[in-house]
Amino acid sequence: MKGGLFLNKKDLRGKVLELRNSISDEEILNRSTILMNKIKKMEVFNDSKTILIYVSFDKEIDTHDMIKDCLKIGKNVVTPICNTKDRTLILGKTSMFPEGFHKTKYGILELDPKECDHVNIKEIDLIIMPGVAFTKKGERLGYGAGYYDKLLAQKSLHTITVAPVFEEFIFEDIPTDKHDMLIDYIISG
């Protein structure tokens, strides 16, 4: 979908999620594998020791195999834990997957924050970001709660952000706010 500017985030988010939900699980898995393989070939991925990876749910680009692969090759893997009280992310050190994870009321697999080591955002070399829609300039439309924008505002200058996205969800423009953070690399396919 290459359309122009939507008037507001809510309308665009709703339209994209509706379209995304129409994609079969098999197609999502196949296309996700292609996108994750593109990320694995990036120099920034290979140079990164500590990687924050979102744990995909529902019809998101699948990251489950990527998490397992990163653990296999010796990367320090960190996954987000939603602190719903203040809409921030706790970063949990992940040593295996999906063992030790539980499903939240939103259907997202997370570690128990009381049972894992926490990692400071400044220790992260690479963040593989979720999102609903993007632009080639790196603008991101998330789910609307601001978790990742708050996190990115605290990251180190050396931390690189990468977002995998299905090509039909890249737009020329998307509605943004001043607190919205840009993504360094948009990986599409």
Q: For residue 140, say whether it is annotated as part of any ligand binding site.
A: yes
pLDDT, position 6: 56
- Residues of the chain with pLDDT below 70 are 1-7
pLDDT at 97 (0 to 100): 97
Give the per-residue pLDDT at 179.
79
Q: Where are the domains of the chain?
A: 9-188
CATH class of 9-188: alpha beta
Is 144 labelled a binding residue? yes
Sheet containing strand 170-171, edge to edge, reads 140-141, 133-135, 170-171
User: Which of 135, 145, 141, 107 is closest to 16 using CA atoms?
Assistant: 141
User: What is the value of pTM for the model shown?
Assistant: 0.93
Per the annotation, does 9 bind a ligand?
Answer: yes
- Model confidence pLDDT, tens digit, residues 98-145: 999 999 998 999 999 999 999 999 999 999 999 999 999 999 999 988
Q: What is the pLDDT of residue 135?
A: 96
Question: What was the pLDDT predicted at 180?
Answer: 82
What backbone torsions phi and psi does residue 71 show, to the nearest 5 degrees?
-65, -40
Query: Would the annotation count 13 as a binding residue?
Result: yes
- For residue 9, the SS3 value is helix
Distance of CA 161 to the CA centre of its chain: 9
Residue 60, annotated as binding a ligand: yes
11 annotated ligand binder: yes
Residue 148 marked as a ligand binder: yes
Residue 31 among known ligand-binding residues: no
Q: Output the pLDDT for position 1.
A: 44
Residue 15 CB neighbours (<10 A): 16
* 4 annotated to bind ligand: no
98 cis-preceded (ω within 30 degrees of 0): yes
Q: Is 92 annotated as a binding residue?
A: no
Tell whether 146 is in a known binding site.
yes
